[in-house]
């Protein structure tokens, strides 16, 4: 798909960036590199597991694409412990967030990750990005995640309206949300919301009446694993 898209547009692929080491994100490396001679870039800590990595990435590194595009590497552990997100240096930033942040959801942590680290990544990094940042995750789970949001917060009108729109949308034309929208529709950014907490306490009766945000996040992640 990447090769076809590049050919259609007359672009030369010179770099392949893996957000993390899972095979659904790295499985195309060899064939794409054979076809293009491109260099492979990935989190420095994931390089040994991926193999064939030409440039190990760390927080603050900048990937230059063509003459004008700059992508800044964020070190975003949680889904795995060696995961990068890429933030474009553009008037309206774009975030390529792999399996860390999904539209209306968060990545799972049961294949090499840790929900506490994912919480730290959400709170100390993602939530602080500009509100207008456009979100481009590695998978399209919007409708299913909105159903989870509405199960947490049945009165969330933004989530209900977006789900209604999604049901009439061509699946090939994925909806792109902004971080501002995510904060309205994504339970993992709504850790102080009274409805989220009340519903969570129905599932986890041992939770205190005013759980801290980390506790809410970790329980939401746990609940989503079985939901």
- Residues in contact with Zn ion by CB under 5 A are 22, 24, 99, 138
217: Cα separation from own chain's centroid: 15
Contact 64, 40 (CB under 8 A): no
Least separation in angstroms between CB 24 and Zn ion: 4
- Residue whose CB is less far from Zn ion, 112 or 150: 112
Least separation in angstroms between CB 200 and Zn ion: 25
Write out the two tokens for 24.
Answer: 């659904």
Please state, in angstroms and rounded to a whole number, the distance separating the CA atoms of residues 222 and 143: 19
- Residue whose CB is less far from Zn ion, 138 or 211: 138
Contact 132, 121 (CB under 8 A): no
Least separation in angstroms between CB 76 and Zn ion: 12
- Residue whose CB is less far from Zn ion, 78 or 138: 138
Please state, in angstroms and rounded to a whole number, the distance separating the CA atoms of residues 155 and 159: 9
Q: Which H/E stretch holds residue 38?
A: none
Least separation in angstroms between CB 51 and Zn ion: 17
- Residue whose CB is less far from Zn ion, 141 or 204: 141
């Amino acid at each position: 798909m990447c090769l076809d898209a590049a050919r259609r547009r007359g672009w030369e692929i010179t770099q392949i960036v893996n957000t993390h080491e899972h095979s659904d994100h790295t499985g195309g490396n060899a064939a794409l590199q054979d076809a293009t001679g491109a260099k492979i870039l990935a989190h420095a800590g994931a390089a040994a597991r991926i193999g064939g990595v030409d440039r190990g990435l760390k927080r603050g590194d900048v990937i230059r694409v063509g003459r004008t595009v700059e992508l800044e590497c964020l070190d975003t552990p949680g889904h795995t412990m060696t995961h990068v997100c890429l933030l474009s240096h553009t008037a309206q930033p774009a975030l390529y967030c792999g399996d860390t942040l999904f539209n209306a959801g968060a990545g799972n942590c049961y294949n090499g990750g840790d929900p506490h680290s994912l919480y730290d990544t959400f709170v100390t990094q993602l939530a602080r990005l500009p509100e207008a940042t456009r979100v481009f995750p590695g998978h399209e789970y919007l409708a299913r995640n909105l159903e989870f949001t509405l199960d947490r917060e049945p009165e969330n009108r933004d989530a209900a309206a977006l789900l209604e729109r999604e049901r009439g949308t061509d699946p090939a034309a994925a909806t792109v949300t902004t971080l501002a929208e995510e904060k309205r529709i994504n339970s993992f950014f709504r850790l102080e919301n009274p409805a989220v907490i009340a519903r969570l306490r129905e599932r986890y009766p041992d939770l205190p009446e005013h759980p801290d945000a980390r506790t809410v996040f970790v329980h939401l992640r746990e609940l989503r694993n079985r939901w």
